[in-house]
Structures are given as structure tokens and as C-alpha cells.
Structure 1
Amino acid sequence: MILAIFLLAAFLIGAYFLFNAYYPSFGGDVSNERQTQYASSTQFEDGKFVNINRVNMDMGFTQTMSMLKKFFFEKVENGRPKNDITVQKIDSSNIADYASPTRFVWFGHSSFLIQMNHKNILLDPMFGDVPAPHPLLGGKRFSSELPIEIQKLPKIHAVLISHDHYDHLDYESISLLKNKVGTFYTPLGVGVHLEAWGVTKEHIVELDWWQETTFDDLQFVCTPARHFSGRKLSNRQSTLWSSWVISSQTENIFFSGDSGYDDHFKEIGKKYGPFDFAMMECGQYNKMWPDIHMFPEETAQAGLDLKASKIMPIHWGAFKLALHSWTDPVERVTKRATELNLPIITPKIGEAFLLKQEKIENQDWWQ
């Protein structure tokens, strides 16, 4: 019996290490050489990236087990839609032939297509069914289909990625996208995953916080966020996380990525605002991790800090990654934004809308 238990334990440990080492969705690892390159970043300390105001990401065994127990076994009322969400479809010719004012298509969660200055730009393109390294390790998307399949997308001129978590950076999505993308823009370190998945270095631009780059007639700025990174237990904090500013000569857009509430929103607003539109993280929050995800009321306040003319709540509507109901984020942020006289839009998944569009039909579609 003892021998059998020992052999089973050895098998499970070996299987874990093999899975961890060879399963492709984990991505790459930052080499010592690359760590040396990142040493000049003020966000890089002792081989890891850190937040401006430090966030303690170390959880003891008891805390970790308590969190996992709550997540997997605690029943959440209305945690998922009773039926699959119906998304609005958009065809490839509609995208390929579009040449009008700046418009957006939301794919749910934090994924967007922006069509701006005759360019197709994807933000955090997570098109997979499950935000996890393996389909058995997470819950499925709330919708059974996407507004458009990756294979039907036309040429994508640029992809902006905020950080390397599974709900923002998906192996299958990148594998299907990589041959139709001009350039990937990422925070420091995230390029190692793209390289592991077959994207060449020439098509990757890594930036530190506050670094700017031009893309034809557009400017991209990698700006701070308060979060963390890592795709497996052994590489937490090895890559940087960020928000993004996307600007033309006449338009100014902000994308929050994932972030807890902090002073960086005011700093970004002071340096790069005001913004015509801000896509703001609002979902997957909990009192157990208040420093790395905003509560909806903080999302609305962050929109004011940024000097945004209007905001859109994102990071909801696609996956269950926390213990609140699936509509709690949008209901609470809408209420608070109204109290603050901050315009807010809540389009359907797949609904194309213009940057200058003041109203969205069926703003409360989730009801």
C-alpha cells in the first residue's frame, strides 16, 4: 500500500512537471539575458516586476485553499447567464471594407477590434472558450459563438496586449492570428510567450511604462496598471502588465487592461488626457483581492481621474472568474457613473459602435 501511494504521488508530480514544461499554452520563460535587459526598468526589482505602490501577492497555503474552496464550491446566485448570451454577428467584408470614422467591436471581457485611421487593431484578443491553460481547468465562455471567427478576420495591422493572464493572452487565439498580424505591442517580457508560439521577434515591440511608440499616424503609449502577471506557479511577476493609450491627431483613447484603483489613473489623465473614450476594467473583483481589480464604483471614479468624456465597462460579460453575479459589474458601475454625471455606454457583444456615438440602443441588454 505504501509503495502504491508513493508511486501514485511520484506519477502525479512527474505528470505536473511534464505538463508544466511542455504544454504549449504556458508560453515561454524570461531568460537571464532578458532579465538583464529589464534591469534598467524602475518596475523591475530582484528579478521580478513590481507595482508603483507595492501589492503583496504572497498567499499562504491556508489562504490559497480557502480562496479555491470558495471559487469552486461556493454557489453564486446568477453567477452565469441562465442561457447562452446571443451575440451580434459581423462579417469579414464589413470589417475589410470599412473606411469611416473610428469604431469599435467588443468581443466580451476585454477583447476589442478598433478600426481607426484605416487600420484594424485588436486589444487583448482572447477568442478561446476557456481562460485557462487547459479546457478542463476553467469555466466556458457565456456565449457559444463569437461575433466573428478568427479565421474570417481580415489583416490585423496591430495587436495590443495588456498582460499575460489567460483571459487576456490566449495560445489558440495567437496561433490562429499570428500570420495575419503586422505587429504585436506588449509590456516588457510578454514577447517571450509570443516567440514561444511562433511569432518572430521582428513582429514584436515590447515597451516599459511611459514609453511611447508610433505606428504610422497613430501613437501607442504603454502606461501603468496595478496588477500582476504569470502563466504558471514558477513565473509570477516575470513579465510586466500595463494599460494603453491609443492616439491619433484628433482622437484619444484609453484601455485599462486589468488594474486595481490607484493614483496612476490621475497621473495618466494629467499626462495624456483628456480622453474621448476609456475602456475600463469592471468585473472579477472580490474583497480578497482589492488591490488588483477595481470595484465598479472605483471604475467610475477612475474614469473621472482619467478625464474621460465617456467610459465603457469591460472585463465582464464573458467569463466567471469571481464570486459576484455576472450582471453585478455593469449594474453597479452604471449606477455610480450616473451619480457622477459620467457618460457611460454598454453595447452588446458584437455590436459595432462609433467613437463619437452618444447613445447605444438597448443599453440594458443583459436584462
Structure 2
Amino acid sequence: MMIGKTLLAAAAAVGAGCVARAAWGVLPSIGASRSAIRPYAAASPRYRDNRFHNSDPGSSLPDGSQSGLAKAFLTRGTVGTPPRQIPLATPLAPTTAGELAVTWLGHASVLIEIDGRRVLTDPVWSERVSPSDVVGPARMHPMPMALADLPHIDAVVVSHDHYDHLDRATITALARNRSTTFVVPLGVGAHLRRWHVPADRIVELDWDESTDVVGLTLTCTEARHFSGRGLARDTTLWASWVIAGENRRVFFGGDSGYTARFADVGRRYGPFDVTLLPIGAYDERWPDIHMTPEEAVRVHRDVGGGVLVPVHWATFNLAFHPWGEPVERLLDAAGQAGVRVAVPMVGQRIDGLHPPETTQWWR
């Protein structure tokens, strides 16, 4: 199984043997095989020795053994869980998409309105981020909106294939009930085809490649991370995304460690009205693949961001830091750097041009 954060956390919860038993029969959720992915990945200059590589070398594995990390998850107790029920806002979905608005649905799932179109990032509606519905990290709050209640979505953008960003049940539901275009990094399309998403609705891109969807330009850009849903690692690409309309631009950081190459993204595609940047699941044992809140502020400045909206925190317990620590550290760093931050409640729709004052709802 995947050595990364999802199944390590599952192993800590119930033990590797139980994970194996719980995973029985869930091969379809794991996705496409290496042989099915390779034809779409092999042409990329980033694909060598049957795997993708970061531009900046770094470890995607925590220091120490797998069993040592599993023990750490097992003994962390309530660290990383909220002290009380997480408050939810009631999502608002205007009939016509706005000029610029974002609705944070939890973790990295964000409904973006830009120049009258809607883009949904990393949609995950399942209860657990795992190939199994029995074990694996469970969400700490319900989704604030049912899939059936989503307004029309013009494009779904996926950053990479980890379970907390690419969810089979959600993808198949969206593909079955909507005409949405799925825009993904190289190789990820093989998972979608495995799940019977029509091939003509899938667009796969390498870094610095773009596609146009109903007047929006979606550009796949660099990130520093890794991929994998089964035994094979790094067979599909990971990415950040530029979402550009005629008048407005949004940068979605996906899931990434810090890299100075974000400054190149800013020079080529910025500035941005809004950045959606990950601030959670950081740890000194994996500094290269998850940025800290302070590094998120740095990325925001590197790409030329206007308003920073934090994502990738509060929904799944994937590390060892306290639940509210990421946003507190973010606000401290942003205040020192003079960066504008908007921290929506889960489910809250905020105007990207005139964001409301942050209410410190997490306290």
C-alpha cells in the first residue's frame, strides 16, 4: 500500500494486518496500473526510470522506518483533533457565478468562481481518504454541501493522485451526473479512465502546459511533492494550477513543499488576485513535501498574490501538529509580512476582491 501519509495513518490506527484485510476488494479505488499510466507519462522530461521527479531533489519519505512512523501515529492521542465541533457555514451558490469568489468546502476542495465560470479543485466527498471505507483518516467535519447540490461546474482540477485529493467515489459521481471537464496532471487521467470517466472529458497536462475550458485558461504548474496510490510511487505527476479568466487570476497550490521555483510561476503567470495555499500536515520529518504556514506566506509573495486563502487543514488529521496551529502560525507570519489573509469557515463563500474580516472562528 501507499507508504505516504494516508496509509501510514491507517496502519497506526488498526495495524498493518487489519489494513490489508480492510483493503481487500478495493483495487478499483487504488486506480490504474503502472503499465496503463506509462504511455501518458513517458513523453515528459520529468519522467525518468519509470517515475516522475521533482526539480529540486528532496526526500518524500519521512526519516526512520515505516513502523516507527506508524507507532508515532498510534501514540499521538488527540493531537491534531479539534477541541469541539467544527462550525460550518451554509454554502451560497448564486445562479450566475461571480467575478471572483471562493467557497472552501474543506481540505483542498474549493469551489472557485472566476469571470462567470466555476472550477472545483481536488473534490473529496468521501468519509475517509483511503482506498477502504473501513480504515484510513476520517473527516473531522461533514461536507457542508451535498454533491447533488453543487451548481454547474465548468471544470474539475486535480493536483495529484493521493487519496485526500483524488477520490474515486466523488470523481465517478461527478462524471456520471455532469458534463464537467476534468483537467489533471500527466498520468492521473489513467485513474479516471479506469473509473469509466469518458476519455473525451479528460485533459492531461505536463508542467507549463495549458488548456482552455469555456473561456478559462488552466495551466499546470510546478509543485514539489510526490504521488502514489498503491505499491508504485511517483508514477503520475503532481502539480499546482493557474486558473485564469479574461480579468481575474487564481493560483491553487495543490499540495507541495516549498520551492524557490514558485517565483518562476509568479513571473510567468502572475500576479494573482487570490492564492489558495496549503498550510497543514507539515512536519520536520517531511519538510520537502509539505510547506509550513510561514512558507505558504513566502509562496504567496513569490507568485505575486493579492489575498491568501489557506487550505489543506482542519478536515483530516494527517500529521502531529495541533488542530488550530496552522492558521495561528499563518496569521502571525502574514502579519509580519504585510500579507492579506482571508480564513473562511468551512462552507463559507467569500468575495475574492473584497474578503470579509477574519472572525477567528476556529478558536
Query: Does the alignment reach a TM-score above 0.5?
Result: yes
Report what 1:49 is aligned to: 52
Structure possessing the higher radius of gyration over alpha carbons: 1
Q: Tell me which residue corresponds to 1:152.
A: 149
Aligned to 2:66: 64
User: Which secondary structure does the structure 2 equivalent of 1:137 belong to?
Assistant: coil
Secondary structure, counterpart of 1:276 in structure 2: strand
1:283–1:295 Cα contact (<8 Å) kept: yes
Aligned equivalent of 2:265 = 268
The structural deviation recorded for 1:101 is: 2.4
**Aligned partner letter, 2:86:** I
- The alignment status of 1:219 with 2:222, answered yes or no, reads no
> 1:177-226 CA deviation, whole Å, 9 max, x = no partner?
11214210000000111111120111100000010111122111000000
Root-mean-square deviation over aligned CA pairs: 2.1
Structure 1: tracts of 5 or more residues without a match: 1-11
In 1, Cα distance between equivalents of 2:105 and 2:355: 20
Mapped partners of 1:286, 1:274: distance in 2: 29
Match of 2:108 in 1: 110
Q: Alpha-carbon deviation of 1:265? A: 1.0
Question: Does the CA contact (< 8 Å) of 2:40 and 2:187 recur in 1?
Answer: no
Q: Distance in 2 between matches of 1:238 and 1:20?
A: 23
Letter in 1 for 2:282: Y
Counterpart residue number, 1:123 = 121
Matched letter for residue 245 of structure 1: V
2: CA distance between counterparts of 1:80 and 1:17?
27
TM-score w.r.t. the length of structure 1 is: 0.89
Map of 2:95 onto structure 1:
97
- 1:146-225 superposed matches below 5 A: 146-179=143-176, 180-225=178-223
What is the one-letter code of the residue matched to 2:220?
Answer: C
Identity of aligned residues (%): 36
How far is the alpha carbon of 1:129 from its aligned partner?
Answer: 1.4
Residues 88 and 37 of structure 1: CA distance in aligned 2, closer, same or farther (over 3 Å): closer
In 2: Cα distance, 1:87 partner to 1:47 partner: 43
Alignment of 1:1-367 (within 5 A): 16=20, 19=23, 23-31=27-35, 34-57=37-60, 63-77=65-79, 79-90=80-91, 95=93, 97-143=95-141, 145-179=142-176, 180-232=178-230, 234-362=231-359, 364-367=360-363
Check the 8 A contact 1:20/1:26 in 2, yes or no: no
Name the count of aligned residue pairs. Answer: 346
Name the CA distance, whole Å, in 1 between partners of 2:138 and 2:116. Answer: 34
d(CA) in 2 for partners of 1:235 and 1:95? 40
TM-score in terms of structure 2 length = 0.90
Structure 2 spans left out of the alignment, 5+ residues: 1-15
SS of match in other structure, 2:120: strand
Kept in 2: contact 1:158–1:181 (CA 8 A): no
Alpha-carbon distance between aligned partners in 1 of 2:182 and 2:94, rounded to the nearest angstrom: 20
Q: Which amino acid aligns with 1:43?
A: R
For residues 58 and 281 of structure 1, do their structure 2 counterparts lie closer, same or farther at Cα, with a shift above 3 Å needed? Answer: closer
Structure 1 residue 153: deviation in Å?
1.8
Aligned counterparts of 1:69 and 1:262: Cα–Cα separation in 2: 30
Q: Say if 2:60 and 2:289, in contact at 8 Å, map to a contact too.
A: no
Q: Which has the higher contact order (CA 8 A, sep 6+)?
A: 2
1:17: how far off? 9.6
Q: What is the CA–CA distance in structure 2 between the aligned matches of 1:361 and 1:346, rounded to whole Å? A: 6
1:10-59 CA-to-partner distances (Å, cap 9, x unmatched) read xx99x949956753211112326x52443331210111001001223366
Structure 2 counterpart of 1:74, one-letter code: R
Q: Distance in 2 between matches of 1:108 and 1:194?
A: 22
Aligned equivalents of 1:129, 1:113: Cα separation in 2: 19
**CA distance in 1 between partners of 2:97 and 2:54 (Å):** 39
Distance 1:147 1:130 in 2: 16
